[in-house]
Amino acid sequence: MKNKNYIKVMQNILHLLDEGVHVLDKDGNSIIYNDAMSNLEKMDTKDVLNKPFAEIFKNLDAKDSTLLQALYNNKSTINKSQTYLNKDGKKIATINTTVPIVDNGEIIAAVEVAKDITEMQEMSNKILELRKEIEQPNEVKELKIKKYRFNNLIGKSPNFRAVINIAKKAAKSSASVFIYGETGTGKELIAQSIHFDGVRQNKPFLAQNCAALPETLLEGILFGTAKGGFTGAVDRAGLFEQANGGTLLLDEINSMPYELQGKLLRVLQEDYIRRVGGSKDIPIDVRIIATVNEKAETLIKQGKLRSDLYYRLKIIAIDVPPLRERKEDILILADQFIDKHNQRYNKNVWMLSDKAKEKLMSYNYPGNVRELENIIMAAISMTDDENVLTDKQILIDDSNNAVKIDYGFSEIGVDKYLENLEKEIIKNTLITYQYNITKSAEYLKIKRQTLQHKMKKYNLTQATDNKS
């Protein structure tokens, strides 16, 4: 392509972008100034293009200009928040990235990309306002959020009861809690129970999913904003202040940007926060419960979770087992969900057929308890007036039902790995057939004696009920 055509193509692309783009050549002349930038800055393209930057922005000191800093001092500015009033007096919030373009060791241009986050900013303020209303409802409005407590948590399997025991101890203190568990295992329910059955039950419980918001918003939402600060420009308390005395649940904390994780760590160590753009230190007393749905060690290795923050948070560490590792709970939970959705859909289902039970027991539930609940809910909603749910009504996508076991093969070697695998298969079969040796041996296609021998070897005896 001819150079001239190439430039034409580039210019057209630039005008399609939502982000503002402003480029200076090595002499400081504006060579690209797209429509989005023109809209943002309320400047006419013709007043900017092909003119020296210093002449257009006469009042701007070179050291305050990110573009000139990039061009003359090789300085990059990444994701910097800026707030300013445009020509019409409207407050505009942007996030700018400015970089020098270097060729053969020589700076040949400087590029600035600006994203208008005014709307997001307004949204962030709205979120904080709404939360405040939820937390401090006026007398007329009733608080409609369901609060979970320990007696809402169903499960008798020893590994689940062990988790509940740790959580109950956690409820008696204010120490930070770090919960790991796959999606749908009940992390939120456990976090709420720790709060609403705990020493802080009369104070606020707030939750924020760290994956749901971009970095600049998240920071403002957590720590609040101060008037004149470059992001918020209004005085507003963040979640830390709103949750003062209570509990703040930070879901998917590994999605919090690394730098912000560092700020959070400092806050936890120093017990005060500073609003974004503010200068006052505000003392806070907030219990943090953080959750992740991948193993912390993996997240640390991948650089998604700061190890220093992790060690500060896991004063109480809770690992919630996936449903496939507590099969004893499947039918108990299923019964509970039958009751719940009977009421909801006004149905009259009493029980599951034996085949339906077997079908539920032999699935591995990648979506854990939430998935089981959805399966039961779907089944109930489809019944007419029958009282027994059959396997036909239990709709399970078996395609992802492969045995999924992660024992860290590379660490333990193949012999141990196979042993673990065999133990897991036998254990699950026994639970499925309620420890009926004949049926289990038949299913596994081994002799009864062989099964009994292996049960002894792996110490697989029927678990006795553990009272909660």
Ligand X SMILES: Nc1ncnc2c1ncn2[C@@H]1O[C@H](COP(=O)(O)OP(=O)(O)OP(=O)(O)O)[C@@H](O)[C@H]1O
Residue type, 349: V
Rule CB under 5 A: which residues touch Mg ion? 187-188
* Residue 120 binding result from Mg ion, ligand X, none, given CB thresholds of 5 to 8 Å by partner type: none
Rounded to an integer, what distance in angstroms lies between the CA atom of residue 391 and that of residue 356? 4
Least distance from ligand X to the Cβ atom of residue 412, Å: 27
Nearer CB in complex with Mg ion: 179/330? 179
Residue nearest to ligand X (CB): 186
CB of 55 to Mg ion, least distance (A): 55
By C-beta, is 114 or 207 nearer to Mg ion? 207
67 in Cβ contact with 25 (< 8 Å): no
The residue type found at 154 is I
- The partner in contact with residue 112, picked from ligand X, Mg ion, none with C-beta cut-offs of 5 to 8 angstroms by kind, is none
Euclidean distance between CA atoms 290 and 313, whole angstroms? 7
Residue nearest to Mg ion (CB): 188
Return the one option of Mg ion, ligand X, none that residue 155 interacts with (CB less than 5 to 8 A, by type): ligand X
- Give the integer Cα–Cα distance in Å for 143 and 207: 15
* Of 160 and 310, CB closest to ligand X: 160
CB-based contact 201:195 (threshold 8 Å): yes
Binding site for ligand X (CB under 6 A): 153-155, 181, 183-189, 293, 369-370, 373
The DSSP call for residue 234 is S
Three-state SS at 324: helix
User: Which one of Mg ion, ligand X, none is in contact with 189 (Cβ closer than 5 to 8 A by kind)?
Assistant: ligand X
Minimum Å gap between C-beta 213 and Mg ion is: 16
Element of type H or E holding 180 = strand 177-180
Instruction: Kindly give, in sequence order, each residue whose CB lies less than 8 Å from that of residue 265, ignoring residues fewer than 6 positions away.
Output: 306, 308, 309, 312
Q: Give the shortest CB-116-to-Mg ion separation in angstroms.
A: 32
Tokens of 320: 């919630």
Cβ 187 to Mg ion shortest distance, Å: 5
Distance separating alpha carbons of residues 175 and 298, to the nearest angstrom: 24
β-strands 287-292, 247-251 pairing? parallel
Nearer to Mg ion by Cβ, of 187 and 304: the residue is 187
- Closest CB 250 distance from ligand X, rounded Å: 12
What's the min distance (Å) between Cβ of 184 and ligand X?
5
The one of ligand X, Mg ion, none whose footprint includes residue 232, by CB under 5 to 8 A per kind, is: none
Among ligand X, Mg ion, none, the one that 183 touches (CB under a kind-dependent 5 to 8 A) is: ligand X
Instruction: Give dist(CA 234, CA 389) in Å, integer.
Output: 56
Which is nearer to ligand X, 101 or 377 (by Cβ)?
377
Using the minimum distance from each CB to ligand X, give the nearer residue, 181 or 277: 181
Cα–Cα distance measured from residue 360 to residue 428, given in angstroms and rounded to the nearest whole number? 12
Partner interacting with residue 224 (select from Mg ion, ligand X, none; CB below 5-8 Å by kind): none
